[in-house]
Structure formats: structure tokens, C-alpha cells
Structure 1
Amino acid sequence: MPEQLTRHPDVTLQVLRSAGARCGEGVPQEILKSCPRERFCKLPGGELCVYGLDNAITMTQITAADWRALAQQTAPPPGSGMPPLTMAGVGTAGLLAGVLLTALVVRRRRGPR
């Protein structure tokens, strides 16, 4: 089950709730047992844990080696004049992933048209 990283975890949780996810309600955590209860969501298709930048270090699916590799991949070449990718960019990508996931959940619940 996925862990999601976003700059705006509360907004992401609100969007997931609006699509019918049960978030922060103390529902049983069958797979994502280390997810903080207030950041845990249960959906018909599985579980989701929404992390903010402040607690990204506690994520279990992304390791320190993953973060280092990401930093190396996103660093611009020396002297290129390009600014490095910031955590804001990573957070935005996480938020977009959350919104896309929510749209898929809503579409799935409504069924085919």
C-alpha cells in the first residue's frame, strides 16, 4: 500500500475524505501499521498513509538511500545556473499524485458512464 508525501497533508486528507475515504478515524491498519493514525486512510481498494514534509523522515517505503539518490538525480550540473529541485517541488509532485489518486477513487465509485 502506498505512502504519499505532500506539502499539504491536511488538504490531501480532506480531498480523500470527500471521495469517501475513512481518514484519521481509528480504523484498523492491516498493512500500514506504522502510519500515524491521524494520517491513515482506508479506502475500498486499500490503505494509504499521507505524510507531510515535517514527518517525511518517518516514511517506511522511502529509505535514506532513496533520498540521496533523488538529490543526486535532481541536482543541476555545476555551473549550469539552474537552481536545484527543492523539497517544495517534491511536495508538489506528492500533492498531484494524491489528487490523481482521489480522482481515480471518485471515478471508480461512480462506475462507468
Structure 2
Amino acid sequence: MCLRVVIVDDHVRFREQATLLLELERFSVVGGAGSGHDGVELSRRLSPDLVLLDVGLPDGSGFDLVPAMHETGAAVVLTSSRSVSDYGQRVAQSGAEGFIAKEELTGEAILSLLA
């Protein structure tokens, strides 16, 4: 199965690295955005299977964007350079399928959250 992914993160370098990593693991990265607004619009246009969504974006919190991403039909995995424990119950309350720290990002980790 080749999941179509949109990466929403304000750090261009992370988007590039995540794209390379996921494409090596047979994901299809169909787009990337540097802001929440652009990410929602891109997801509406592209209808990805998954949005990899940074928690801290310049125009708002990734937690708040989960419902809009779900409306596009995408599953949502939140990501951050911080640990999941730093966010308490916010990950669960957001409705996202899960959370992966940026340093722990792998295709296998994503698939385990979507199973």
C-alpha cells in the first residue's frame, strides 16, 4: 500500500528530510506546506491519505487543525521536536491518530498508528 502524504511543517529542512525518508519507505509525498492555512488548503486540493502535521506552526497550533485536516479525508499524525509527554492530554484530545517525535519518524511508526 502506498500512502499519499502531505507534510505540514514550517521548517523546510524537516519537510525535505521527512520526504526523503518516507519516499524511501514507499510512501508518496504529494505535497508540503509551511503554515497551517496552506496545509489545510493543500490537503483539500490533494485529498491525501495522511497529513504529517507539526504541532507548532507560525499561524497556529497543529492541535487546532486536526478537525480541518480530517474533513479532507486524511488521517493525521502530529509531530514535534518535543516529546509527547510535553503535551499532556492535548494529543489525545486533538482527535489525531497519534504522535511521533520528529527524531523517531519512520514509515513503520506511522503505519503502527494507523493500524
- Who wins on radius of gyration, i.e. which is larger? 1
* TM-score grouping bracket, smaller chain normalisation: 0.3 to 0.5
TM-score by length of 2: 0.32
Counting strand residues as a fraction of each chain, which structure ranks higher? 2
TM-score by length of 1: 0.32
The higher relative CO (CA closer than 8 Å, separation ≥ 6) is in 1
